[in-house]
Each structure stands twice: as C-alpha cells, then as structure tokens.
A and B are shown apart, each in its own frame.
Chain A
Amino acid sequence: MSENKLPETIIFRIRRLAPRRADKPTWGEYPVAYSPGMTVLDGLWQIKERVDSTLAWRASCRMGVCGSCGMFINGRSRLGCNTQIAELGTSVVTVAPLPNFPIIRDLVPDLRPMFDHHTALSPFIIRKDTAEMQEPTGEFFQSADEMERYLQFSYCIKCGCCVAACPTCATDSTYSGPMALTQAHRYNSDTRDDGFETRKEVLTGGAGPWRCHFAGECSRVCPKGVDPGKAIQLMKRQLVADYLGLRRKDPVAQINVKPEGIKRREGIPEAPEPSVEP
C-alpha cells in the first residue's frame, strides 16, 4: 500500500499511432481524475469517455482472466486491468503497446505471430486411439501428482506479456516464444497426451527452446504465475534426455475402467435408490 497519496489529477502518457494516417508514433498526454483503487484500464476508459474517444485498446473481462489488455506500462509488460495506478508509485502513467508485436493501432498489438507459433506446436491432446477420441466411452485416468506436472502451465491466458518481455523475441521472428513453448511443454507433460514425437519435429529446430538464454523476464512478468521460464528449462531437460536416450517413456493414460468382481466392504451401506428419473 503506497504511503504517498497520489494527486487528484494524474497524467497518462500514451503512445498513439494510426498506421493509415501516420508512419511514426506520437505521445499524447491526458489528464485523469484519480481515485484510490483505480486500475490503468479504468484510466483508459475515463480518457475515452471524457477526453479523447479515438483512443483504441483491447480489453474484455477487466479482471485478469481473458488476457486481452496486455500493455507496456511504466517500463514493464503487464495487464491493464491488473495494474493498480497506486502500485506504480508515480503520478505519470506511461502506457505503450506491448513490445515485439506489430501495432494495429494505438495500444492494439497484432498477436497473430504468437498464435502462429502456438498453432505450429500442436497445443492439443494427440493420441493414437482416434476412435476413442471421436466417440469417448469414459474418462482417462490421471492421478493428482500427474496433473500437478502440467497444471501450472495450463493457467496461461495467452496475454503475450511473456513474449513482449523476452530478449530473444525482441529480434528473432523464428523463435517460438515463451507462450508457445510453455504450452507445448504443458501438453508434453500431460499423461493423457502422446504427441511428443510430433512436437519434437518443431522443437528440435530453430523454433525450439534453444534460443532461450534464461533471462527470466517471462516468468517475472507473467500475470498468472505460469512461470514460462521454468517450463522452457524443464522442456530442454526433456529434449536433451530424449537425445541421449535417457527419457523415461511412461505409457499414455488409459480409460478409467472400474475393476470387476470387487465386493463392497463390510459395514459400508449401499447408496439409496434414486428419487429422480435418470
């Protein structure tokens, strides 16, 4: 909680650009009436309503779960809805579009390069039993320990802050980026998945984790604690182990089948008859 109270009017410095009309971005300064608890996104809405209605940005849930409002705020890639103005500690809020993505307009980045890398890494369960995948007969068994191996990486909201913070993504367009690699690792670590060999074709090349040099910025800026840096290093370990023939190939998760011929233990009552028609 900041001890210093912010003034009643603070300034938002926003990088503006309308590519159809101008080639170079400009900086606009906008006054915002501040009240405690305001987020950067609240400030942007106020500017749009009262000062300049041409300001453009992406936002949706305004509570940190959709991943739309990634922006470069006071020198760091963050979500606009998740950033309290008070936590910035200054009365000048500088907002720029997320770095390392082309700008469509003002604060709107084009996230397609990130999603293209994501798609190339097959971010879905791949299995050989296609009949079961098309017509499921039951659930796949997965223990709580097995789920913990990938659960953290499944919290990704695809906001792009990690890609914006990555030094390799600052120059290299063929590198997949932290988001795509973390999602590839999320599926490689999922015991229900059998697609390691498919993803390996992409991961052993220049799009793989080999251009990551562990700057750690992706993990620092991730608003959901997904820790992409950790996922990428664990992925390197898995790929090197596979290269050296040391990777443990666990069997893929199977349908959870109730064992037959099991008798109910003494003293445990049967379930009551259903009172509602199935």
Chain B
Amino acid sequence: MPEIREHPNRLGIRGWLGGGRWGPDRYLYSLHRLTGLGLLTYFVLHILLTSSRALGQGAWEQSMARVSGPIFLVGEYLVFVAFAFHAINGVRLALAELGFGVGKPIEPIYPYKTVVDVQRPWIATVLVLTGILILVGALDFFVWH
C-alpha cells in the first residue's frame, strides 16, 4: 500500500448537534444531552446551597434569600422544564435501549420500516407529556404563587 497523506474529516462536537438533516430522534438526543448537563450543573449548586439547612433556620433563610430574585425564579422554572423532558424522554430511552419498543428483526422491504418509525408514536407521547408538565409547571411557578 503506497503511503497516502490523509486529511482529517471528523465532524467533532458539531456532529453532536446534527451531521446533516435531522430526524426527530436526533433532536431529542441533543436535547437530552443539553438538559442532562444543565441539570447536573444545577444539582451540584443545589447540594451546596441546601446543605445550609443543617446549620439552622438563620443559615437556611439566608441561603434562600440569596436565590430569591426573578432571574432565579425563571432559572428554576427552566430546571423544572429540563427535568420534565429529561425524565420522560429518559423513560423512553431506558425502555428502548433495553429492547422494548424497537421492533423485531424483519426482512427489509423497501420503503424500509426502521426503529425510527416504530419509535415515532413514543416520541409523540414523550413530547405531549412533557408539554403538559411544562404547562402545569408554568401555572404553579408564575400564576398560582
């Protein structure tokens, strides 16, 4: 084999955001990743902040006062939204990645029915349930308080 000089061609992180035209599964993958990172960041800060309850009422109320502005309220709502999506989509992923709802091996006859087609109703369910939770959460955060 003669020596060839090659040019690297990996998409890199851009490939996480879409290597071309997207299917719905791909959007959900990117969103699941983003919400996961967001939730983890919030979670680490949350542990440190709420640990102040061990130091009594004064320390607790001081911590809560620090995170009581409107920006924090909106931020917490976004965390709630992220959780709603990540949890419901996570259930779908847990089931699918354990082989439930992906279909059985079949003889491929064009136009091919793939796992993406089998998952479509489940994706719709995930989006509808997430939408309902987001609405109820918005009511609780911004209307009923």
Give the B-binding residues of A (Cβ under 8 A).
17, 19-20, 23, 25, 72, 75-77, 97-104, 109-110, 148-153, 155, 164-167, 169-171, 173, 189, 212-217, 219-220, 222, 224-227, 229-231, 233-234, 236-238, 240
Binds A, one of B79-87, B113-121, B130-138: B113-121
Given contact pairs A170-B13, A216-B115, enumerate 4 new A-B contacts (beta carbons under 8 Å): A102-B9, A169-B10, A229-B102, A237-B97
Residue with the highest number of chain B CB atoms closer than 10 Å, among A100, A167, A224: A167
Determine which of A20, A72, A97, A230 lies in contact with B103 in the assembled complex, contact meaning CB atoms within 8 Å. Answer: A230
Please give me the residue from chain B that is nearest to A226 by CB atom. B108
Question: Which residue of B11, B33, B97, B98 contacts A99 across the interface (Cβ within 8 Å)?
Answer: B11
- The 5 lowest CB-CB distance pairs between A and B, nearest first, are A170-B15, A225-B108, A225-B112, A237-B99, A216-B25
Q: Is the CB of A75 within 8 A of B21?
A: yes
B contacts, CB < 8 Å to A: 4-16, 19-23, 25-26, 29-30, 32-33, 93, 96-99, 102-103, 105-110, 112, 114-116, 119
How many A-B Cβ pairs are below 8 Å?
158
28 A-B residue pairs with Cβ-Cβ distance under 8 Å, sorted by A, are A25-B7, A72-B20, A76-B20, A99-B9, A100-B9, A100-B15, A102-B8, A102-B9, A148-B105, A152-B107, A170-B13, A170-B14, A170-B16, A171-B10, A171-B11, A171-B15, A173-B10, A212-B97, A214-B96, A215-B29, A216-B29, A225-B109, A230-B115, A231-B105, A233-B102, A236-B98, A236-B99, A240-B98
Cα-based distance from A151 to B32 in the complex (angstroms): 32
Within 8 Å CB of B21, what residues of A? Answer: 75-76
The residue on A at minimum CB distance from B33 is A213
B30 shortest CB reach to chain A, Å: 8
Q: Find chain A residues with CB under 8 A from B109 CB.
A: 225
- Across-interface contacts of A110 in B (CB, < 8 A): 4, 6
- A211–B28 Cα distance when bound, in Å, is 16
Chain A residues lying within 8 Å of B110, measured Cβ to Cβ, are: 225
Asked if B116 and A104 make an inter-chain contact with CB atoms under 8 angstroms apart, the answer reads no
With a CB–CB cut-off of 8 A, which chain A residues contact B22? Answer: 217
Q: Which residues of A contact B25 (CB under 8 A)?
A: 214-217, 220
Q: Is the CB of A99 within 8 A of B15?
A: yes
Q: Which residues of A contact B33 (CB under 8 A)?
A: 213
Instruction: Decide: A101 and B26 in contact? CB cutoff 8 A.
Output: no
Whether B116 contacts A216 by the Cβ 8 Å rule is yes
CA distance A216 to B24 in the complex (A): 9
Q: Which among B19, B29, B93, B97 has the greatest number of chain A C-beta atoms within 10 A?
A: B19
Q: How far does the Cβ of B73 sit from chain A's closest Cβ, in whole Å? A: 32
Inside 8 A of A167's CB, which chain B residues have their CB? 15-16, 19, 26, 29-30
- In the bound assembly, the distance between CA atoms of A41 and B93 in angstroms comes to 38
Chain A residues positioned under 8 Å from B32 (CB to CB): 213
Smallest distance from the beta carbon of A21 to chain B beta carbons, Å? Answer: 10
Closest CB in chain B relative to A96 CB, distance in Å:
9
